[in-house]
Structure formats: C-alpha cells, structure tokens
Amino acid sequence: MNNSFNHIISIAPMVDRTDRHFRYFARLLTKNTLLYTEMITAQAIINGDRKKLLDFSPIENPIALQIAGSNPEELYKAVKIAEEWNYDEINLNAGCPSDRVSGNMMGASLMAYPELIAEMISSMKSATKKPVTVKHRIGISSSKVTSSFMPYGSFHDFEHLSDFMSIINKAAPDRNIIHARIAILEGLSPKENRDIPPLNYDMVYAIKKEFTNSIIEINGGIKTLDDIHEHLTHVDSVMIGREAYSNPAFMARFDSLYNCQTLTSLTRRDVIEGFLPYIENLENKGENAHLALSHTIGLFQNQPGSSLWKRLISTPSKGTKSTILRDALDSLPHDVLDKKI
C-alpha cells in the first residue's frame, strides 16, 4: 500500500478555493497536512496552459493533484504530463455532483460505472509511480444515469457500495476518500448537495471493516478536533473542506495530531507576517494579490477584529495589498493578533 507520507488529515479539493495562493497560506498554518489542488480536467491538462494549471511552490508539499475525466487514455496522458511537476499523489474525482462535471460523465456520475473507474485508476497508475487515489461518495441518485451496475438510477445501500468498492479496488487505488453522503445528480445544486442528504458516517466505517486492507479516508462535515479523533478510531484518515477554508485557524491544530507534537505556538500575527512576503512577491510580478488575500477572509473567525479584517482585505483601496496587511497589524486588536491560535 503506497501511502508514503503517512498523512492523517487532508484539505479537500475545492474549485475556486484551494488554488496555489490558498495552499501557500494553509502551509503557514500546518506543515503535515496533505493539500489538494482544485479539480483540473484531464483535457485541460492535455490542451491548456500547463504551467498555469500545474505550477506550485515547493512549500506546498505534500500536495495531491485532483484530476477529473472519464477517458482512460486521456487520464493516462494527463498523469504523464503531470509527472514533470512531481506531485506527491494523483487523485481521480468520482464524487463531484456538478452538472458541468457529471453531465460530461465525470465526477459522481462515474459511480454508475465502477468497471470504468477501475480502468481509469489502472491507466493512471501505469503512468506514474506516485500513489493514485480516488474520491467518491457512499452512493448516487439520478433520474438520468443508469447502467447495468445501477439499473434503477441510484444506489444507496451498503451492499451496493460494497460491490462498488470490490470492483474499483481491483485496480488497487492507494486510498479511497469517501464523502459520507449520497451524490444527487439532478434537482440539487452542488452547494445544496454538500449538506443534503444527511451524512452517513457509519456506512464509511462499515466499509473500512469490510475492506481492512484498503486505506479509507472519510470526508464530510468534519469541524472539530474531537470529530477528527472520533473518525480516526474507525478509519485511516480524514479530509476537511469547508471548515478549513472558513476557519483557517482550525488548521493550526492539525500538526499536534502527528507523533504527539505539541500544539503550535503560532499567532495570527505570525501568519500575516508569513504571508506578507508572498503578497509582496505577487505585487512585484504584477499578479492578482487581491485573490490571494481573499482566501484569508476567515482568519479571525469568532474573534474580535473579524469584521475589521474582512473589511480591510476586501475593500478596494489605493494602497497595495501589502500596505493593507502592514496597516492591519497596527489596527487589529493586539491581544488577538498575539494570542496563540
């Protein structure tokens, strides 16, 4: 089993969120957590601006590239191309319910075709020695997609999920990341489908019990250290999405879960001062510093100064973003800035 960096927590792939700016910022808060890129389609990697899509800073390691696709040959090509960038892991998206993705037979709609998923994983594995993982759901429901594996347009019971796992595991993915919620392909927006229907963690725990040799990572609704501890008694690792983005200080607690490391003495001032050279560098290159700074919006969540921080980083101003950051270090409450996160 290839899980060489032995992570127990990852930050989920999130389009328009987990770009390289956010990942750099996240690294100021946690060193050990595995970071995912946004989903990138295989076709974009083959035909698009590869440098723009795939470049990342070495500080972001360990980092996993998430690819969406449905054609094994295209996935092979995309993974071969990505080899040059030396990602720590390549992940196949088989869990995204977005029309843009599932309508093109990518993401969650692939779950109706587990043999094809297995073929894609095998194809990706033959293109790299790096771990190849897959992210999927506990089931799907669709009024349009049917297949011999899913003749009635849905599967949501444990037996069906177990059959699904047996088929895709023939390709030996290095980890299954399971979002503990059924993907609903029509009738709900992807945003709604991240909260509806309810999570079913027990189903994921039961999968780990049945597939003891598989590395199982659980995803969906994880918000506290206690949640993480509880999940880790059942499965191998956890993936966290929205809570890490909306409350980045949460990430500062993750490294304490590795090898009994003590809690970091990091403060929000350290994080802002750490991000400052990055923002200055973007400005010097004429790049979009506003976008990078927008990812820090939740840094003061639930703290005095939160509204001021949001206002400072989002209000257009004549000064540069790095000046705004320096000013923020003066104007935000110092006790909050200097308190351990």
> Is 260 labeled as catalytic in the residue annotation?
no
Q: Which of 251, 249, 250, 201 is nearest to 221 (CA)?
A: 201
Of 147 and 247, the one with the shorter C-beta distance to ligand FMN is 247
Q: Is 271 annotated as a binding residue?
A: no
Q: Which amino acid is at 246?
A: S
Q: Which two tokens stand for residue 210?
A: 């049945």
Residue 202 region by backbone torsions, left for phi larger than 0, else alpha for psi between -120 and 50, else beta: alpha
Say which of 11, 28, 92, 96 is annotated catalytic: 96
Q: Nearest approach, Cβ of 221 to ligand FMN (angstroms)? A: 5
- Cα–Cα distances in angstroms (integers) from residue 154 to residues 102, 142, 147, 183, 201, in the given order: 14, 6, 10, 9, 19
- Cα–Cα distances in angstroms (integers) from residue 126 to residues 13, 162, 171, 173, 175, in the given order: 23, 25, 11, 12, 16
Residue nearest to ligand FMN (CB): 241
Q: Is 193 annotated as a binding residue?
A: no
Q: Tell me if 251 sits within 8 A of 29, measured CB to CB.
A: yes
Q: Nearest approach, Cβ of 195 to ligand FMN (angstroms)? A: 8
Q: Nearest approach, Cβ of 128 to ligand FMN (angstroms)? A: 19
Q: Is 219 annotated as a binding residue?
A: yes
Q: Is 242 annotated as a binding residue?
A: yes
Query: What φ, ψ does residue 98 adopt, rounded to 5°?
Result: -60, 140
Residue with tokens 């079913």: 200
DSSP class of residue 340 equals: B
DSSP secondary structure string for all residues of 23-53:
HHHHHTT-SSSEEEEEEEEHHHHHHS-HHHH
Please count the residues of the chain: 341
Q: Nearest approach, Cβ of 176 to ligand FMN (angstroms)? A: 13
Residues near ligand FMN, by CB under 6 A: 12-17, 38-39, 66, 93, 95-96, 135, 179, 194, 219-222, 240-243
Q: Tell me if 290 sits within 8 A of 321, measured CB to CB.
A: yes
- Binding site for FMN, by residue number, is 13-15, 66, 135, 179, 219-221, 241-242
Catalytic residues: 96
